[in-house]
Amino acid sequence: MTVAEKTTPLWICPRCRRRFLTPNVWHACTERELDEHFTGKPAQIRALYEAWLAFVERNGGPITVVPQKTRISFQARSRFASAMVRRGWIDCSLWLKHAAKHPLFTPVKRETEREFVYTFRLTDKNQLDNELAALVKDAYRAGLEEK
């Protein structure tokens, strides 16, 4: 049995068509274009974002990219990673179901007893190492709602 067969269908907002785990969840029901995040930013920032996106897809799997007002979310069944485009870097986040350590991580934001949000500043694609790849895999599995 696949993960999709074990889980309930996602709720789709009738206005913005975004997918959510629970019906009628509050969200900013706005539609954004991905390119809006890169307006006025140097070309190397777009290239850095594309490197982060490719890294997440390579170490996770198929995702939906959801441009929002202040961030770009990466979603499997649920959101598990994101990018906030800045002028000279990308602020990245990973949602994990366990405590983790990585030299890039800033202090952790603990969502619940079993949910952690890790953030880090991506300034160079060479920061995307094997240790981070393993954590992206874990975050992706959490986004699929695997145990």
Question: What are the boundaries of each domain within the chain?
Answer: 32-143
Residue 145 pLDDT greater than 90, yes or no? no
Determine whether 38 is exposed, middle or buried from the number of CB atoms within 10 Å of its CB (0-12, 13-18, 19+). Answer: middle
Say whether 8 sits in a helix, a strand or coil. coil
For 31, phi then psi, to 5°, come to -110, 135
Say whether 92 sits in a helix, a strand or coil. strand
* Residues 80-131 pLDDT 10s: 999 999 999 999 999 999 999 999 998 787 777 778 999 999 999 999 999 9
Q: What is the 3-state secondary structure (H, E, C) of 9-56?
A: CCEECCCCCCEECCCCCCCCCCCCCHHHHHCCCCHHHHHHHHHHHHHH
* Residues 57-84 pLDDT 10s: 999 999 989 898 899 999 988 889 999 9
Structure tokens at 68: 């929002």
Strand-pairing partners, residue 109, are 117
Fold of 32-143: Aspartate Aminotransferase, domain 1 (3.90.1150)
Whether residue 116 contacts residue 110, with contact meaning beta carbons closer than 8 Å, is answered with yes
